[in-house]
Amino acid sequence: MEFTGENILEFVKRFPDDRSYLAYLSGLKRTNGFVCTKCRHTKFTIRKKNFARDCNRCHHIESPTDGTIFHGLRFGQRKAFGIMFEMTATTKGISASQAARRYGISRTTAWAFMQRVRSAMQSSKKYPIVGDVQVDEFVLGGKETLKQGRSKDSKKKKIVGAVELSEKGKVKRVYFNKIDDYSSKSLSCIFEKHISIDAHVLTNKWTGYAPLSKRYKIEQKYSEKGGSMKQMHTVIHQLKSWLRSTYSWVHQDHMEKYLDEFSFRINRSIFKQTIFHTLTARMLMAKPLTYQMIKISI
Ligand SMILES: [Zn+2]
């Protein structure tokens, strides 16, 4: 039942109308089990007309979108799925302005929905990195220089990133966090969220990493203009060029959401066949957000 692949013609064929989207969501919801929100009963009947679930005890009706990020969408599932498909099946995603033009909705509506999608793309943090990992800090925005370093420019967004390497030394997974400064406390967030204490971590010689070696296996090497952490620097370059080409300007408060989107796509690049399905399933699990919550919570 799950949709696989990156082919837009297949996608359009699979989802010809709003009913097909509801059927898909309903099927996904069924795999998650059912507990009636009114009486906690666990048995239900599915209505053929709109795939709503009818509680067998109290007859409370639940639509496939109830209690999910899809609830209350004013522009319909069809456009929502289209935007999600482009955010996952493509290599670079799309900007809110592009989505607005392609789906005939306002830029604000597109932006708000895409922020909801990004919140579902956030890492579950269930699978910390255990093997080889490179950690480095860098800045985004402002005038770019080749210097990777600890800029004190407050307009620039400070980021710490971690790249997990495969056995062949290829990029396997990436994670980023926005940080306020380069103190050990700030740098520790990426370790706590994404890196196992058993991982072998390579960093540069910055003193901020030294106190973390009490808990983590850290090796500090001179950066040699990025040469000692080639994979990390390739990823930073990709991130910067993606943000520059797709998003002309990203507000400081929203940066983490864009970092989540970038990581979600890279971390699933070998699972590209199922990336759309994975995202849809995650969006069903995520709690609904209002526009105000999006603006405030990030
Ligand atoms: Zn019930």
Separation of first and last alpha carbons in the chain = 34
Q: Cα of 288 to ligand 1 centre, how many Å?
A: 21
Which sequence spans correspond to the domains of the chain? 8-121+272-297, 132-267
Residue 39 CA to ligand 1 centre (angstroms): 4
Contacts of 297 (CB under 8 A, 6+ apart): 289
Collapsed DSSP state (helix, strand, coil) of residue 251: coil
CA of 18 to the centre of ligand 1 (A): 26
Q: How far is the CA of 27 from the centre of ligand 1 (A)?
A: 19
Rounded to the nearest angstrom, the distance between the alpha carbon of 62 and the centre of ligand 1 is 10
Identify the residue with better confidence: 129 or 248.
129
Contact 289, 119 (CB under 8 A): yes
State pLDDT tens for residues 38-84. 999 999 999 988 899 999 999 999 999 888 888 888 888 899 999 99
Closest CA to 174 of 201, 154, 194, 159: 194
242: nearest Cα among 226, 223, 265, 225: 265
pLDDT of residue 245: 80
User: How remote is the CA of residue 34 from the centroid of ligand 1, in Å?
Assistant: 10
Q: How far is the CA of 285 from the centre of ligand 1 (A)?
A: 20
State the distance from the centre of ligand 1 to the C-alpha of 45, rounded, in angstroms. 11
User: Does residue 147 carry a pLDDT above 70?
Assistant: no
Coil vs helix vs strand at 171: strand
pLDDT of residue 297: 46
Distance from the alpha carbon of residue 50 to the mean position of ligand 1, in angstroms = 18
CA dist 97 → 93, 94, 110, 292 (Å): 12, 8, 8, 20
Ligand 1 centroid from CA 57, angstroms: 5
Going from the Cα of 55 to the center of ligand 1, the distance in angstroms, rounded, reads: 5
The CA 51 to ligand 1 mean position distance, Å, reads 16
pLDDT-based confidence at 288, cuts 50/70/90?
low
Residue 213 has a CB neighbour count (10 Å cut-off) of 13
Question: What pLDDT does residue 74 have?
Answer: 84
Cα 136 to middle of ligand 1, angstroms: 51
Residue 150 is predicted with a pLDDT of 64
Distance (angstroms) between ligand 1 centre and the Cα of 64 equals 15
pLDDT band at 33 (very low <50, low <70, confident <90, very high): confident
Residue 149 pLDDT exceeds 60 = no
- Which CATH superfamily, name and number, covers 132-267? Ribonuclease H-like superfamily/Ribonuclease H (3.30.420.10)
Distance 77 CA to ligand 1 centre (A): 26
What is the CA(231)–ligand 1 centre distance, in A?
Answer: 53
How many A from CA of 286 to the centre of ligand 1?
Answer: 22
Q: What percent of the chain has pLDDT over 70?
A: 90
pLDDT for residue 296 is more than 70 = no
- CA 43 to ligand 1 centroid distance, Å: 8
Tens of pLDDT along 250-283? 777 788 999 999 999 999 988 889 999 999 999 8
Is pLDDT larger for residue 57 or for residue 124? 57
Q: Which tops the pLDDT comparison, 177 or 1?
A: 177
Give the tens place of pLDDT for each residue, 187-242. 999 999 999 999 999 999 999 999 999 999 999 998 777 678 999 999 999 999 88
Distance 71 CA to ligand 1 centre (A): 20
- Alpha carbon of 80 to ligand 1 centroid (Å): 29
Residue 48 Cα, ligand 1 centroid: separation in angstroms? 19
Do residues 109 and 74 touch, judged by C-beta distance below 8 A? yes
Query: What integer pLDDT is reported at residue 146 of this predicted model?
Result: 45
Question: How far is the centre of ligand 1, averaged over its atoms, from the C-alpha of 73 (Å)?
Answer: 25
pLDDT of residue 284: 86
Bridge partners, 200 (sequence order) = 132, 217
Q: How confident is the model at residue 186 (pLDDT cuts 50, 70, 90)?
A: very high
**Burial of 66 from C-beta contacts in 10 A (0-12 / 13-18 / 19+):** middle
Backbone angles phi, psi at 230, to 5 degrees: -60, -45
